A and B are shown apart, each in its own frame.
Chain A
């Protein structure tokens, strides 16, 4: 039960935080009349905190466009794309919470293995990280976007932070067998594969 609570707590907190930031953003008026997009800083912070969802934004665009002409365009003040974004927030942070849980489990029982430890998973995470890194750097470069230079830079920094975290986590996992091997060979205990508990 405590594990369940911890894996629910983080996504729910982020979900509430995202709703709060979105709602706050809805209530921010354009500082002046503009005819290109303006995004409030709080909205950009929300995007930055949930940066990996940028990667599925095209999917959200596609899903929402096919509904045009039918059905409600918004529910409780949130547009369909925002609702899909919030669902994605739950998914993203559930994944993060499960990852934290797995790391804790592995600290307690180093023989446990999950998808988070697989090479393919880490390669995918590394690719996402690299993509976000490029996206974050692009956001820092001119021209400014969203008619909000400060907000754009804040979002960019949050995206780069996400990218750094993903690259670090994935890189660490991908390099660990090599590190183990080097450590094992320096200790003279074979290739290290069967000696996980001894090495760590």
Chain B
């Protein structure tokens, strides 16, 4: 069922005037300062993209979503997600069924094969509860179409290390190629994406929540190669590369098209197709997209490279800077120029974006100047190979800092043309940069270096234990950094050099993330293509998860990465085709280091931007453990609150809260349905005046200090963005979470979440909220107890608990602690 809708609005341009307006790519009628256009909606959520172009070619875009209610047609097939589930007795998990187009079917009915082993609710978001050990078949049915998954219910307090908690197998005919983690946003976006491809090269993206619930799928169409990177708004940037024969140059130039995909629907938002090759993209915290663009070779043989920045919202170029390219020249014996062309550089590292917005790129260029004798034999052949760091600063200035440069005349006996390769560039966390590169001048004898460029100069560190390409480099705590050539891990101090190294006795090792306390979490391939978790402490002492330092834990897959919440994601090899999977290892799985480049290519999103991880560090989780960590405790409290608000079983909510605040339970539930941002404020270096208010808010009373500083200075247990209309944004001190798993503690957590969420929804500060609720006198008095009076009020009057926090120093500034 489709529906036609007219979109209208106002458009203006004070300078050159409006040239055109499009709605979803179709031209709109523009009259005076108004436009209107007809669009077609399908059942579900629809993305509408309105783009206005002025006479000067500038583009402004407005993207919004429209939902069309209606009945979906009978599906051709169904798939249940998550699949491959292993859970413990007493655990609960939500499931959903999606049809062949990836649409979630809320009209599915659900059944379990044995209700003595598991039960499932009958609502549109079915929740399965594991009752007893065994194997259960879960069936979803939409009209006559059914789908089934098997799930295992295990006994014990924790799942064995290496156990897959859930999977998302690829669609039939497809293979999972890549797992992508979205940049967290306070919108309706997914947490994970699965990039799948079939044997004909047709790509597919499927979006999931962090618990494996499906959200949407989108076809990417055919391409020679497609790469996917999270954009800055929770969506995806898809790069499709192809080549075709060009008779004019008798060549097959490679060209790239970038398409930005909406996080809510997967629909294309914009497309950038410059007719040139585009390298790996890096995303700045404000969503701006940076990449290196190389022009196709022209008839004179020139290839030019540019650093290009695109507006992440509209896909229009913000600027383009030509990079220093290598020049090849040949002179005749009379000194005249015989040949001259630019080669576009020899090799480049990744682009790395520092937290201040500085864009860094290591460039290798090999220029050559040849001189011919008059008989056309070579008189001289001078090569200059240089490695330099190109940087674009936030103020728009650029710099090129030499790292290494060598010039040789190749016609002289015994000379070898130097060859360098740039692999990794990362910020050092102190305003400087680390460049990992290899001197490949002597064949089969690669020499691996890291050069530290800082305000005090350059320092070279040579690592004889490494041999060849540097696959990844991450920054840890206390000035430590780590890099690997996939066989050896090398740790070093960014100012003093090598610390320790580890040579994998198996088939290799890869870096997953640096961890708190100066450690490192890696994935090792013991013998086959399956990987297991190997940790190092700050001294380089290795430990296999769950089995100590001698025997690797069971391997379950490959391409491990750590999620925002510290879980291990990977491609499971247990099924017939590699599948996006989440597995359990020793708890805590990954306790992220307080570092701005803790994972390869930045943070969990791996988009070469360094800011996101440190702005919203996740609360620590310990999946499968007998007791929750602060992450589970908080998220479970949020889910419990949401469940409470979804049903009719909370009369006290209305009498004690909503009526007093002039809101309804339904409105509050709708607000809770917006994805929340629940972060560990004690590790966040986000500026308060950006995450607690909009930067343009003249009444924003928060300064530029970091969230961590603020919470430490004020002894805060939790701080909430007030108001926060796009979803709750809360920074916690983990000590306030009750983690014993008992009922009183769970209720207190829920009351705290209720309290904080009311701030975000109503926009009321503590005083006003307490006054409105009546928590300003008697047993619950904000004037004597502080804001915790609101939590206690909600706990006692609404949720039926009476546990209180422990105050370690009533006259001091320490945060309250839950001792339950």
Closest CB in chain B relative to A49 CB, distance in Å: 16
B563 to chain A: which residues have CB within 8 Å?
none
From residue B329, how far is it (CB to closest CB) to chain A in Å?
Answer: 41
Residues on the B chain within 8 Å of A60, using CB: 704
B149 within 8 Å of A (CB atoms): no
Interface residues of B in 698-728 (CB under 8 A from A): 698-706, 709, 714-720, 722
Beta-carbon contact of A35 and B785 below 8 Å = no
Task: Determine whether B16 belongs to the interface, using a CB cutoff of 8 Å to chain A.
Answer: no
A65 and B766 in contact, given A35-B717, A35-B787, A36-B720 (Cβ under 8 angstroms):
no
Q: A61-B689, A73-B704 are in contact. Are A135 and B611 (CB under 8 A)?
A: no
Contacts of B765 in A (CB 8 A): 34, 36-37, 143-147
Q: Tell yes or no: A2 within 8 A of B by CB.
A: no
CB neighbours (8 Å) of A140 from chain B are none
Total interface residues on B, CB under 8 Å, equals 56
| Partner of B703 from A66, A69, A82, A144 at Cβ < 8 Å | A82
Q: Considering only CB atoms, which chain B residue lies closest to A142 in the complex?
A: B768
| Chain B 349-373 interface 0/1 with A at a Cβ cutoff of 8 Å (1 = within) | 0000011110000000000000000
Task: Please give, as numbers and ranges, the residues of chain B lying within 8 Å of A54 by CB-CB distance.
Answer: 698-699
Contacts of B764 in A (CB 8 A): 143
Once the chains bind, are B719 and A69 in contact (CB under 8 Å)? no
Chain B interface SS verdict (over half):
loop
- Complex contacts, B689 vs chain A, CB 8 Å: 61, 64-65, 81
Q: In the assembled complex, which residues on chain A have CB atoms less than 8 Å from the CB atom of B787? A: 32-36
Q: Which of B666-710 contact A (CB under 8 A)?
A: 685-687, 689-690, 692, 695-706, 709
Known A32-B787, A33-B816; contact A69-B354, beta-carbon cutoff 8 A = yes
Contacts of A146 in B (CB 8 A): 701, 765
Most buried by A among B692, B702, B766: B766
Q: How many A-B residue pairs have CB under 8 A?
A: 134
With both beta carbons as reference points, the residue of chain B lying nearest to A149 in the complex is identified as: B767
Is the pair A69, B783 in contact by a Cβ cutoff of 8 Å?
no
**Any B CB within 8 A of the CB of A68:** yes
Contact A67 B704, CB 8 Å, known A32-B787, A58-B695: yes
Interface membership of A107, Cβ < 8 A: no
Query: Given A32-B784, A147-B766, are A70 and B356 neighbors across the interface (CB < 8 Å)?
Result: yes
For the complex, what is the distance from the CA of A122 to the CA of B704, rounded to whole Å? 33
Q: By CB atoms of chain B within 10 A, which of A33, A61, A66, A71 has the most? A: A33
Q: Is A124 an interface residue (CB 8 A)?
A: no
| Residue B546 at the chain A interface, CB threshold 8 Å | no
Q: Are A145 and B698 interface neighbours, CB within 8 A?
A: no
Query: Are A65 and B394 within 8 A (Cβ)?
Result: no
For the complex, give the distance between the alpha carbons of A139 and B709 in Å: 28
Any chain B CB within 8 A of the CB of A75? no
B250 at interface by CB-CB < 8 Å: no
- Taking the closest CB of chain B, its distance from the CB of A6, in whole angstroms, is 31
Type the 1/0 row for B615-628, where 1 means its CB is closer than 8 Å to any CB of A. 00000000000000
Residue of A nearest to B695 (CB): A61
Q: Select the residue from B354, B687, B705, B783 with max chain A CB neighbours within 10 A.
A: B687
**A57 part of interface (Cβ distance < 8 Å):** yes
Residues on B with C-beta less than 8 A from A66 are 356-357, 394
Which residues of chain A are near B700, meaning CB under 8 Å?
A: 57, 61
- Given the known interface contacts A61-B695, A73-B709, the answer about A39 and B701 at a Cβ–Cβ threshold of 8 Å is yes
Interface-centre pick from B698, B715, B722, B788 (highest chain A CB count, 10 A): B698
Q: A32-B787, A147-B766, A147-B767 are in contact. Are A58 and B698 (CB under 8 A)?
A: yes
Q: Is B759 an interface residue (CB 8 A)?
A: yes
Given A36-B766, A139-B699, A143-B763: A68 in contact with B611 (beta carbons within 8 A):
yes
Is residue B75 contacting chain A, with contact meaning CB distance below 8 A? no
- Cβ of A55 within 8 Å of any chain B Cβ, yes or no, is yes
Taking the complex as formed, is B377 at the interface, i.e. its CB lies under 8 A from any CB of chain A?
no
B767 and A61 within 8 A (CB): no
Say if the beta carbon of A9 comes within 8 Å of chain B.
Answer: no
Partner of B756, one of A32, A34, A35, A69: A35
Query: Considering the chains assembled together, what is the distance between the CA atoms of A58 and B690 in angstroms?
Result: 10
Residue from A58, A143, A144 whose CB has the most chain B CB atoms within 10 Å: A143
Is residue B540 within 8 Å, beta carbon to beta carbon, of the partner chain?
Answer: no
Question: Which of B759, B783, B786 has the most CB atoms of chain A within a 10 A radius of its CB?
Answer: B786
Q: Does A169 contact B (CB under 8 A)?
A: no
B717 proximity list for chain A (CB < 8 A) = 33, 35
Cα–Cα distance between A73 and B687 once the two chains are bound (Å): 10
Within 8 A of B (CB), among A134-191: 135, 138-139, 142-149
Lowest 4 CB-CB distances: which A-B pairs, in order?
A33-B786, A64-B704, A69-B355, A32-B786
A interface, CB within 8 angstroms of B? 29-37, 39, 54-55, 57-58, 60-62, 64-71, 73-74, 79-82, 135, 138-139, 142-149
16 inter-chain pairs at a CB distance below 8 angstroms, sorted by A residue, are A32-B782, A32-B784, A32-B785, A33-B816, A34-B786, A34-B787, A39-B701, A58-B696, A64-B687, A65-B689, A66-B357, A68-B706, A70-B356, A70-B431, A143-B764, A145-B699
Besides A58-B698, A67-B704, A81-B704, 6 other A-B contacts (C-beta < 8 A): A32-B783, A33-B785, A37-B701, A58-B697, A67-B356, A69-B355
